[in-house]
Amino acid sequence: MLPAPQARRLSSLLVEAIKECTEEERKLEDELKSFRKLLKPWNPNAREKPAKNGATTSRTEHASSYEELQELALLNRTLAKALRIRQTHQSVFEIKQIQPHTSDNSTVPTNAGYGIVEHPQAASYRDKPLEDVLSRTLWSGSKTKLAGASMNNTCGKVTASVCKERYLSSHLADGVAGKKVATHAVSSRKPESCTLKLPYKTKQDVKRKSTSSTVGKLVRGSLHTPGLVKTAAIQQTKRSASVDRAGNRVQQSRLWSLKTIPRTIASHNSLNLEDTDIIQRTVTPRSMQISAFADTAPKMTSPVISQQRANCMKETVHLSVSEQNMLQNESSSMEKLKLFTLQGSGSTLKLPSEWRKQRCRNARLWGQVSASKTDEIQKASFMQNIQSAFHSQLPPVSCAQIEEQLDNIYELYKCIDQYVRTDFLLNSSGPLSYQHEHESLQILGRCQDTVSSLIQQIEQFVDAEMFWAKFGSCWTVNFKKCKCFGGKSAPLLFYSTLQELKEMEALRFQVQTLQRQIQIQKAMAEELLPILFSSMPLEQSISYLYRAVYSELCEGGEQFPVLVQDNIPE
């Protein structure tokens, strides 16, 4: 055990050193982050920051015309394809019961709520595999939880919104392709759904396209707890995020607006009417029909609904699967167009013109500043007058000057000390020749002179310090000022290989570490050795202390000595 004051001093010293290291490391980490960003591929023409995963802001308004053209082309292509596919599938467009294939392991006894419905239009059994595909892709990992068959309004609404959200996000994950498709799907079903009313107003906005399709693919009759909703939302967000990387920014804004929906859903355990209203208000007139269905789902034994849903789902799935590849191709080519690496084309970079202008001006001004010579006469005479009017007993050196010169004196002292101890001539014990003796006498004389002058200086300093201390300035301000040359701009350092730079940094780090270590070593020796000396009577515990102190002081804390009890009787 160590007594408190010394231990506290040491521990505070060590804690300070650790803090210093951590602080530096943190700063370096920040810098390194920006460096890594630079070295990865990035877009030099982007006017805005590249969108982060899942955290996009609504900046789509800035999309360059180039991007929009690209996207339009893509959409047109997908539209054409969708139309083609629709033609082929129109004939097999039947309804069969849509079991809520929401999970692989659920039993759905109360599917009856939605009923097995026979629809006039015969649904082909081809629906099923598609639905399976859909369910697998969409509902992976989610469990079905069916509330009581009596789907009360709230549940139904939850379902509606929940499932809608699911569809939304899943749809988005599948890319743009689905959008157009679904719109068409919806439009195709217009005649069947005309019996239902549109209770809600619609809101036309940019997000229309994507929402319409997803809503169109609406909901199965399964209920999900909000918790599941959340996990699904997260899953979907992740998938959407991965698509984001393909670089379609316009899409992202839409994604963003839709992603907010899942979160709102997740946060409520039971949605009330208002919420569903809000959600549904973002839906377009066409899809409104479907949402209306969803809302009234519990009330209907819905052959109609199931049919729409089946249609939507099937089409979407089919198309999305087929379109996904296409989308990927598109996005990758876009990617190649936009991204840029420093490695590849760093030499083509150009600094912005305003920057260059200001830099020129800046350099010119600094040149003028350093070249400016003022009329020194007035300045000097003022200083003379004021210094002469200072107190007569003021010491000639100030604390600042003392600190500056103390290091120099220390260096000289060390030099002489080392010389005196190690020089061959001075230290040889045997008799020397007359010449050598004289020489060594000369050397000693020279040393003595230097040392005396140093002592004189130091005495001056000591007197000055006594004055200043008495004067009350013992509270020297916590100067962390580096005494290095800081007047002019930092000089340029040229290096030619990575090895040089690394070596230089390593050496500097070593120097700094050694300086710190020396300081710690001195402090520890000062504090710990006396403790050992003084606590010698207590022999039992001292060996542990001894061992610890030995390792700290003599081995830098890295190795331990071995203490052996020598109690073998002689």
Q: Which of residues 526-555 bind another protein (CB under 8 A)?
A: 529, 532-533, 536, 539, 542-546, 548-555
At residue 340, φ and ψ (nearest 5 deg) are -155, 135
C-beta of 56 vs 144, nearer to another protein: 56
Of 168, 173, 158, the closest CA to residue 225 belongs to 158
Contact flag: residue 200 with another protein (CB under 8 A): no
Please list, in sequence order, all residues whose beta carbon lies within 8 angstroms of the beta carbon of residue 204, skipping any fewer than 6 positions away. 284
Binding residues for another protein restricted to 307-366, rule: CB under 8 A = 342-343, 346-352, 354-356, 358-359, 361-366
C-beta of 84 vs 359, nearer to another protein: 359
DSSP 186-222: HHHTHHHHTTS---S----STTHHHHHHHHHT---S-
Per the CB < 8 A criterion, the answer to whether 341 and 41 are in contact is yes
Query: Contact with another protein (CB under 8 A): which of 68, 132, 205, 417?
Result: 417
Contact region with another protein (CB under 8 A), list: 77-85, 142-150, 211-219, 560-568? 560-568
DSSP 309-333: HHHHHHHHHHHHHHHHHHHHHHHHH
Q: How far is the CB of 332 from another protein (least distance, A)?
A: 22
Of 380, 199, 224, 218, the closest CA to residue 304 belongs to 218
Per the CB < 8 A criterion, the answer to whether 329 and 198 are in contact is no
C-beta of 267 vs 418, nearer to another protein: 418
Q: How far are the Cα atoms of 94, 258, 516 from residue 319, in angstroms, in the given order?
A: 17, 21, 67
Query: Contact with another protein (CB under 8 A): which of 1, 88, 422, 570?
Result: 1
Binding residues for another protein restricted to 370-409, rule: CB under 8 A = 370-372, 374-375, 377-379, 381-383, 385-387, 389-394, 397-403, 406-409
Contact flag: residue 65 with another protein (CB under 8 A): no
Binding residues for another protein restricted to 429-488, rule: CB under 8 A = 431-432, 434-435, 437-448, 450-452, 454-455, 458-459, 461-462, 465, 467-488
Of 315, 25, 341, 33, the closest CA to residue 180 belongs to 315
C-beta of 225 vs 450, nearer to another protein: 450
C-beta of 335 vs 423, nearer to another protein: 423
Q: How far are the Cα atoms of 355, 412, 436, 521 from residue 415, in angstroms, in the given order?
A: 51, 5, 22, 22
Query: Contact with another protein (CB under 8 A): which of 129, 148, 227, 561?
Result: 561
Residue 470 in 3-state DSSP? helix
Residue with tokens 């539209």, as numbered in its chain: 79
Of 408, 503, 516, 549, the closest CA to residue 24 belongs to 516
Q: How far is the CB of 255 from another protein (least distance, A)?
A: 23
Contact flag: residue 569 with another protein (CB under 8 A): no
Of 266, 258, 256, the closest CA to residue 224 belongs to 266
How many residues lie near another protein (CB under 8 A)?
213
Contact flag: residue 58 with another protein (CB under 8 A): no
Contact region with another protein (CB under 8 A), list: 186-194, 297-305, 325-333, 499-507? 499-507
Binding residues for another protein restricted to 13-42, rule: CB under 8 A = 13-18, 20-22, 24-25, 28-29, 31-32, 34-39, 42
C-beta of 125 vs 382, nearer to another protein: 382
Contact flag: residue 149 with another protein (CB under 8 A): no
C-beta of 194 vs 484, nearer to another protein: 484
Contact flag: residue 84 with another protein (CB under 8 A): no
Side-chain half-sphere exposure of 554, counting CA atoms within 13 A:
10
Contact flag: residue 424 with another protein (CB under 8 A): no
Contact flag: residue 5 with another protein (CB under 8 A): yes
